Structure 1
Amino acid sequence: MNTSLHTRSNYDKFPATETEGRIWRGWEEIGVELVRCTDIERPLVVFDTYHGVCDEELTGALARIWPEAELIRTEELFRDEREIRSMTDPYVTDDELFGYLTPLGLADFFDPERLNEARERIRHRERRTIVYGSGAGYVAPNADLTLYADMARWEIQRRFRARAIHGLGVDNSAESPARQYKRGYFNDWPVLDNHKKSLYNRVDYWIDTHRPGRPLMIAAETFMQGIGRTVRRPFRVVPFFDPAPWGGQWMKEVCDLDRRQANFGWCFDCVPEENSLLLRVDGELFEMPAQNLIYLRAQELLGAADRRRFGESFPIRFDFLDTIGGGNLSLQVHPTDEYIRRTFGMRYTQDESYYLLDAEPGACVYLGVKRGVDPEEMLAALRTARRGGAAFDAERFVNRFPARRHDHYLIPGGTVHCSGAGAMVLEISATPNIFTFKMWDWCRMGLDGKPRPINIGHAARVIDWTRDTDEILRRHCNRFEPIAEGEGWREERTGLHEAEFIETRRHWFTGITPHTMQGGVEVLNLVEGDAAVIESPAGTFEPFTVHYAETFIIPASIGSYTIRPLVPGTFCGTVKAYVRH
């Protein structure tokens, strides 16, 4: 087996589904089409928006397209900001990072009197009227034309950092990006997602404004065709790369990223809640949140059993943690299922594992407490370090294991852990993605020059102290078990831990490798080899090529598939995750 570091691949940063249809480019083309399809007397136009769109750009375009129209902005119909803050405070909370999942709906944000007055104005309108903003479809459910401008969460986060947007009904643009994200995650996004689900069958045109000043528009038929084609074949979501205080240099080379950046620590390679989905329409890449696929085709994507268990939540997450040429991650722990349900209103926790795509000599993983550790002594040392006292001696309390290429470490909730410097981790986990309780951050600052939040209080309530040296060595490290083999392939079970609902399998192959699905969605990464081809034995989808380190999704509806090296006879490997049934 080749054990040298990979330095280059054909990693595709913009995977897309080929989709037939017309695409309108720029506000001028979009305007011509919108005028054409509203050539009636006193038309009512709804232009609904997701969180994060640039209102100034969009309302400016509407004013140029229809200068004579009356514009009703939903923001002006909301309750007063003080009232909205009071209403949402129990769910946003005063914690820097964590809130509680809101039960609120969009209707709760509207002032009843203002809403009724607006609906009366609409009912008795004497000219073209446009209802614009989040919830426009709720204000005017019987429009002559409905438009929707969507936005992926990775781009929303960029706009948080630029202080360019505000929350639903509140101006929180001056708050830290972490607090803005928290309001979005626990309150604004669940509210707007539920509203968007009610609009799917009413939207006439979808508008992509991810690139300021370069809007794209497609018709509903094209949008739905793209969704349908995606869920009937293997596909990839759009990876999102981000720097980190501990970030490394590996992804710059392998994924061909901007060499001018200091580092890249994260890659959200398969986190559909955060990632985009691209449709290639007439040579253009139309971008939307990947969640639209889950909301519209959950049964085909997840399968019946996973759909019943997880609803419209994608249960499996793959991401990269790059510390090659970087530093240690924070020492951390994730909550247990019981704690995350009770404290944050989430359905399940972030059980996870570290699969080592690559590693430098001397790389390590910190995992579990050492044999005989006194919990109170360790927690006291952590609190002292947080107050600026003696630095926390991690190796006195926490196990440090060597990290080698293709190792696999299992990390169910409650397990103390972090990746050390010199490792390229493929993190395989359940989806919840912000519930990391940091305990020690190695005396460093965040990218903003400020200390990152430390959560010893939460951590102390979830650490499983029985996961000590003996337990970790017995049940958490490289639990590889041969399962099956055939001509040119072999399969191994690699975990995960029995406390976790995700099963992982590794396949090594030089020939055609059969995969029979277990009734649910599967997520894979090509962890060895330059390229491989996924094919349907029944010919139900066209061959799909993936490259080294690319994560790809196999919808449950596919049933069975094969994987082979792109170049016959070359040595390849995949790691696969699916939900145990």
Structure 2
Amino acid sequence: MSVQCHSGEEYNKENYNEFGRQDESYYVVQAGHDAKTFIGFRDDADVDQFIREIKIADKEYKPVDYMKYISYEESKPGLQVMIPAGTVHSSGRNQVVLEIGSLTIGSYTYKLYDYLRPDLDGKPRPIHTYHGERTVARDRKTTWVRENIVQKPRTVRSGEGWAEVIVGESPLLYFTLRRLEFDRQIGDNTNGKFHVLTLVDGERIRIRSKEHPERYFDAEFMDMVVVPATIGEYVVENLGVEPIRVHKTMLKDGFENE
């Protein structure tokens, strides 16, 4: 993926007279040799120099040593990276990531550097340094990233053979990222908010309403399922033999004010 960033709400209002912003997140499902997730600038990065170099690359097609500037996390299954608007980022090679975004309608992606790759016609791919320079968050560097948007999982509830952990939650995002871990089954409740579930580890699960068990959906690996807010209490059951991990996204309390 290209090194890129997205503009925030204020920038979209001022420049496009549009509402909305694009916050994203990556959850690493599978990772191969030397896989990396790029997020933020390095603590020692000269961001102004990086901007100068990508502008030259865009005009003169000279390669940029982006590793001098862009920070990264070693990708391992279970790594959650939050990407608030303005954060420079890229998903590296040799991995499969689950991408969750907030608003992809009325949002903008600014490619800062695309490794001089040509398009299908052999021409250089378009780069957006004008808007990128004006929207990228220069102060989001390695130390800040690891204190704010790459977090250690923390358990919010648990019982025998099951647990729910927060893998990513930030004041900069109005959704929360969770993981359901269990051997046989786990119960949950929408509490009036829809949930988005994705089976990220295991074979097969059944998601069924507790009040109306005839209402269910069977999901396989990497299936993404939206549980309607009206479902209320529901159960996720393991239909296979291996332990289960389900990625869960839902709106935070008070999201209406963000």
| TM-score for the superposition, normalised by structure 1 | 0.42
Report if aligned partners of 1:522, 1:554 keep a CA contact under 8 Å in 2: yes
Q: Which residue among 461, 483, 486 is the counterpart of 2:134?
A: 461
- Work out the number of aligned pairs and report it: 252
> What residue is the counterpart of 1:444 in the other structure?
117
Report if aligned partners of 2:116, 2:125 keep a CA contact under 8 Å in 1: no
> What residue is the counterpart of 1:577 in the other structure?
249
Letter in 2 for 1:481: R
1:528 CA displacement = 0.6
1:483 CA displacement = 0.9
Letter in 2 for 1:550: D
1:540 CA displacement = 5.7
Report if aligned partners of 1:353, 1:496 keep a CA contact under 8 Å in 2: no
> What residue is the counterpart of 2:173 in the other structure?
500
> What residue is the counterpart of 1:555 in the other structure?
228
Equivalences for residues 190-339 of structure 1 within 5 A? 329-339=1-11
CA separation in 1, counterparts of 2:93 and 2:75?
10
Larger Rg: 1
Letter in 2 for 1:398: I
CA separation in 1, counterparts of 2:13 and 2:154?
33
Higher relative contact order (CA 8 A, sep 6+): 2
- SS of the residue corresponding to residue 366 of structure 1 reads strand
CA separation in 2, counterparts of 1:388 and 1:559?
57
Letter in 1 for 2:102: A
Letter in 2 for 1:352: E
Residues 328-383 of structure 1 deviation map (CA, whole Å, 9 limit, x = unaligned): x1000011121123323433211011101111021111110111433321110110
Does 430-439 or 350-359 show the bigger shift?
430-439
CA separation in 2, counterparts of 1:514 and 1:446?
48
Q: Does 1:363 align with 2:39?
A: no
1:443 CA displacement = 1.2
| TM-score for the superposition, normalised by structure 2 | 0.92
CA separation in 2, counterparts of 1:468 and 1:577?
26
Q: Does 1:533 align with 2:193?
A: no
1:448 CA displacement = 4.0
Q: Does 1:566 align with 2:205?
A: no
Q: Which runs of 5+ in 1 are unaligned?
A: 1-328
Residues 167-211 of structure 1 deviation map (CA, whole Å, 9 limit, x = unaligned): xxxxxxxxxxxxxxxxxxxxxxxxxxxxxxxxxxxxxxxxxxxxx
Q: Does 1:424 align with 2:96?
A: yes
Q: Which runs of 5+ in 2 are unaligned?
A: 254-258
> What residue is the counterpart of 2:148 in the other structure?
475
- SS of the residue corresponding to residue 533 of structure 1 reads strand
> What residue is the counterpart of 2:51 in the other structure?
379
CA separation in 2, counterparts of 1:357 and 1:479?
16
Report if aligned partners of 1:370, 1:399 keep a CA contact under 8 Å in 2: yes
- Do the aligned partners of residues 553 and 460 (structure 1) sit closer, same or farther apart at CA in structure 2, a change above 3 Å counting? same
CA separation in 2, counterparts of 1:347 and 1:557?
28
1:418 CA displacement = 0.2
> What residue is the counterpart of 2:190 in the other structure?
517
Report if aligned partners of 1:445, 1:452 keep a CA contact under 8 Å in 2: yes
- TM superposition outliers: structure 1 runs of 4+ over 4 Å: none
- SS of the residue corresponding to residue 60 of structure 2 reads coil
- SS of the residue corresponding to residue 557 of structure 1 reads helix
CA separation in 2, counterparts of 1:454 and 1:517?
41
More strand by share: 2
CA separation in 2, counterparts of 1:521 and 1:541?
19
Report if aligned partners of 2:29, 2:78 keep a CA contact under 8 Å in 1: yes
CA separation in 1, counterparts of 2:224 and 2:99?
11
Superposed CA RMSD? 1.6
- SS of the residue corresponding to residue 15 of structure 2 reads helix
Q: Which residue among 349, 354, 357 is the counterpart of 2:21?
A: 349
1:541 CA displacement = 4.4
Residues 108-143 of structure 1 deviation map (CA, whole Å, 9 limit, x = unaligned): xxxxxxxxxxxxxxxxxxxxxxxxxxxxxxxxxxxx
1:503 CA displacement = 0.7
> What residue is the counterpart of 2:256 in the other structure?
none
Residues 195-230 of structure 1 deviation map (CA, whole Å, 9 limit, x = unaligned): xxxxxxxxxxxxxxxxxxxxxxxxxxxxxxxxxxxx
Report if aligned partners of 2:4, 2:89 keep a CA contact under 8 Å in 1: yes
Letter in 2 for 1:340: N
Report if aligned partners of 1:411, 1:497 keep a CA contact under 8 Å in 2: no
